[in-house]
Structure 1
Amino acid sequence: MQYETLKLEVAGQLATVTLNRPDVRNAFNETMIAELTAAFTALDTRDDVRAVVLAANGKAFCAGADLNWMKKMSGYSDDENRADAMRLAGMLSAVYRCNKPVIARVSGDAYAGGMGLIAACDVVVAVDSAHFCLSEARLGLIPATIAPYVIRALGEQASRRYFVTAEAFDCATALRLGLVSEAVSSAEQLDATVAQLAQTLCANGPQAVRACKRLVQDIAGRELSDALIEETAVRIAKTRAGAEGREGVASFLEKRTPGWRN
């Protein structure tokens, strides 16, 4: 598939999706939303891909929604606005629910919807010069579609603050709050750290990695009930009995490389 607003490259077991609208700070419009949804939906089905990097060209990672697109939306009917918002929500869901781990390579500022993209990823590596902002309230808007992902990443109390103040905050704050997994001081370190993480992910059992990602999504925030305890026991029992689990244990005991690394 040819993309207007993205670049998609697959090298070995790693796919890289790059936002490619640097002239507008990678702000997304209806085309980018559709293309991101299509790209991550396609990657979800590819057995040859074990990890995905979400990157961006230019100085900013993503400035959120394109202002021209937002201006056009202001003339939409209620039904059109709702359908448009659902497409944005679907894009974020496609990133979040992709069954491969997604690493955000944050090379610059991320505002509004750009923070939603980051929060939908599994691991976030950012340059320490990057700034972050939930800027919607400045425009009389709310960060509704990104809220499920941002609140999970920032936590409730920090979200209460930054949703209503629309303050920008630095990478050190993002790291402390948990939005950013790791901060680095240069583009070279950014590339090296992302590459090392990708290599680590691809060395693990691909089915186990997918199941681990789903495990966190399914269990986070749930009450520690008898039903949940039983569910986790069923999951590990099923994994142990599976071909990948048996191969992993056998290769460890036999001191050899597991088959999925060959």
Structure 2
Amino acid sequence: MGKLPSSPILDATLDENNVARLTMNRPERHNAFNAELIAALHQAFTAVANMPAVRAVVLRGEGKSFSAGADLEYMKSAGGWTDEENQQDGRRLSDMLQSISTCPAPVIAVAKGGVYGGGVGLIACSHMVVAIDGATFRLSEVRLGLTPATISPFVISALGPRRSRQLFMSAEPFGASEAEAWGLVHRAVADEKAADAQVATWVDLILEAAPGAVTAARELVDDYAGREITDELRADSAKRIAKRRASAQGREGLSAFLEKRKPNWNPDA
């Protein structure tokens, strides 16, 4: 099936149910981005995309924080780069975020502690997010004379334009309950034990679902969100359900339901 690339700054393992566990490992820097961490995340999610057997990805940060965004020393050095070098660096960050957003396997993120700047971008790209009480979110770029440009398409998609405008311009901090109310995270919980339980619940539900259908369901949202319901869109949706019904997983799922058994993708089958 292949092997997940692991490194000192990104621990990557695969469990018995083919659930990938990725943990950013720069706790002394609150898992802030530098070129190496950006490259390691991109490499890991690219590997997952090429490993169809992977059923889900759980993304965490080691230590007190999920991610404090960009490492300030890294950003300071970027101030001396050429415009072309800075554009290339921004594109590498964007490519990494896109690899998370379009990952075929559902990506579950656990937000805790500081979640700033690019860390909010990681959360916005993840498909399911649980936040632990005490997590502090902040799009703080304007306080440094910068903007959240590279992460903005993903954050705006998660928060909507009006809320994003407020948070981009004010750089005000907000907590887990606000992040849940605004749609950035899906569950706000009291502590790490509750977060682990929520992750386990989502993983169990994903393992009960057909892997191909899960990916296709995510693509429906990516492809249809915000679009006018035209004849062409409705025709495309009919083509997609026809394809799923005729697929091996579609036939297996319906047969298993009628025969009152677990489908062959279920670990308990």
- The TM-score with structure 1 as length reference comes to 0.98
Q: Deviations along 1:217-256, whole A, 9 cap, x unmatched?
A: 1111111111111111110011011111011011101111
Residue type of the partner of 2:187? E
Return the match for 1:9 from 13, 33, 42: 13
Task: Tell me how far 1:195 sits from its aligned partner.
Answer: 1.1
Task: Supply the AA of the counterpart residue of 1:66.
Answer: D
User: Is 1:37 matched with 2:42?
Assistant: yes
Match of 2:203 among 195, 198, 206: 198
Deviation at 1:214, TM superposition (A): 1.2
Q: What is the CA RMSD across the aligned residues, in angstroms?
A: 0.9
* Aligned amino acid, residue 85 of structure 1: G
Question: Are 1:232 and 2:234 an aligned pair?
Answer: no
1:68 and 2:89 aligned:
no
2:169 aligned residue (152, 157, 164):
164
1:119 aligns with 2:124: yes
Q: How many residues align?
A: 262
Equivalent-residue separation in structure 1 for 2:6 and 2:58 (angstroms): 18
Contact 1:19/1:55 (8 A) holds in 2: yes
1:56 aligns with 2:61: yes
In the alignment, does 2:226 pair up with 1:217? no
Which letter does structure 2 place at the counterpart of 1:183? A
Runs of 4+ in structure 1 displaced over 4 angstroms? none
2:221 alignment partner, SS class: helix
Matched, 1:187 2:197: no
Structure 2 gaps, min length 5 = none
Q: Secondary structure at the match of 1:7?
A: strand
Contact 1:18–1:57 (CA<8 Å) still a contact in 2? yes
Match of 1:28 in 2: 33
SS in 2 for 1:103: strand
**1:146-202 CA deviation, whole Å, 9 max, x = no partner?**
111111111111001000000001111111000010011011111111111111111
Distance between the aligned counterparts of 2:20 and 2:234, measured in 1?
35
TM-score, length-normalised on structure 2? 0.95
Do the aligned residues in 2 keep the contact of 1:126 with 1:171 (CA within 8 Å)?
A: yes
1:111 Cα deviation after fit? 0.4
**CA offsets 1:99-139 (integer angstroms, 9 cap, x no match):** 11100111222000000000000000010211100001111
Residue 132 of structure 1 aligns to a residue in which SS?
strand
SS at match of 1:260: coil
Aligned to 1:106: 111
- For the 8 Å contact 1:108–1:126, the answer to whether it is kept is no
Residue of structure 2 aligned with 1:174, choices 155, 179, 190: 179
Matched, 1:152 2:157: yes
Residue of structure 2 in register with 1:248 after alignment: 253
